[in-house]
Amino acid sequence: MSISSQDARQEGRYSFDSFDSQLLKRFLKEMLRIRVFEQRAEELTLSGKVVGGVHLAIGQEAVAVGVMMALKEEDYVTGPHRGHHILIAKGLETSKLMAELLGKETGIVGGRGGSMHMADASKGMLGVNGIVGASIVIATGAAFTAQYLIRDQAAVAFFGDGGANKGQFHESLNMASIFKLPAIYVCENNQYAVETSVEYSTAAEHIADRGAGYRMPGVIVDGLDVLDVYSAAKEARLRAGSGEGPTLIEAKTYRFKGHSIGDLENYRTREEVQEWMKNDPIIRLKLSMEELGLLDENGWNAMKTEVEQEIEAAVQFAVNSPEPNVETVMDHNFSAEVTEHA
């Protein structure tokens, strides 16, 4: 079940008029970059150029962009196996991400990780990974580190509604609250954990309600509205930075594609998907900006062209990059040194 941006406005979380037009264009462009990247990733996977599991976040772009735009560059971020949108919003290069998908030497982790295991500690991106709920624990540790070293950094964990039902969710939130860690827990409730609906798997109506059990704010946002996500994340970042402790944000969203590429999606109806797609976060923001005279057709087409050229260049970079040398197959399996993110 979604909540509307109208609800958020009525609650006073944000006013559309309070956003600078340049910031709105950045929101729109970042979401578009993610969408086009994933559309090309799907095409490359179906053509056999990408091997291994690939999980798309088409439909969920507003969550990653809204949260990341509210953070400081030096903040730590972790994510689940469905993480392309998080990586791109964090500022990692699309060319290196695409090369990683194709298993090339120039990939963000040298072609070793594939879709589910990408990281760049030098940019505070501590990694997406295939272990459900692991992102929550890693971010909690990073938040503890930031507090212990007295650094003005926060740590954000992205996870799904399935991850919220794992034990580490509860252990981490308890610890974070006790120590007032600068952590932000972002649950992307896309309604399904693989094929299991959240109504079937989760007793509580809202995952955000669990925040009360750990004495932290639990905020529900419309995950298809980037402005609602941004407003809640900005408040959570201020809270983390001022020593007030963690925040739990539940973004009600939806994945327009299946769990992974090749999913037959026989656990939901086409009508349900189409109903959610009426609130496509990109189209929604675009229409709002057009209504306010902040974007016209020429501006939209120019933005699309720029984004498509960037992603096509990333694809060509990946396709033309060399395969990893077989003699280095054992490299990077163990860390020889720890990269410190200042």
Q: What is the DSSP string of 48-89?
A: TSS-S-----TT-HHHHHHHHTTS-TT-EEEE-SS-HHHHHH
* Mean pLDDT, rounded, of the chain: 93
In order, the DSSP letters of 92-131 are --HHHHHHHHTT-TTSTTTTSS-TT---BGGGTEEEE-SS
> For 34-59, what is the mean pLDDT?
96
Name the percent of the chain lying above pLDDT 70. 94
pLDDT at position 337? 65
State both tokens at 193.
Answer: 């954990």
Q: Is the pLDDT of residue 330 over 90?
A: no
Report the pLDDT value the prediction gives residue 10, as an integer from 0 to 100. Answer: 45
Q: How confident is the model at residue 2 (pLDDT cuts 50, 70, 90)?
A: very low
- With 80 as the cut, is the pLDDT of residue 96 above it? yes
pLDDT of residue 12: 58
pLDDT at 269 over 80: yes
Q: Is the pLDDT of residue 218 over 70?
A: yes
Mean pLDDT within 189-194? 96
Predicted structure pTM score: 0.93
Asked whether 126 and 137 are in contact (CB, 8 A), the reply is no
Q: What are phi and psi of 246, to 5 degrees?
A: -80, 165
Looking at beta carbons, which pairs linking 330-336 to residues 24 or more positions away fall under 8 Å? 331/110, 332/109, 332/110, 332/112
pLDDT recorded at residue 329: 82
pLDDT at 15: 84
Q: Over 50: is that where the pLDDT of 169 sits?
A: yes
How does pLDDT run across 111-128, given as a tens digit for each residue? 999 999 999 999 999 999
Q: Which pLDDT does position 9 carry in this prediction?
A: 44
Segment 260-274 shows an average pLDDT of 95
Q: 140-152 pLDDT, tens per residue?
A: 999 999 999 999 9
177 vs 302: CA distance, rounded Å: 46
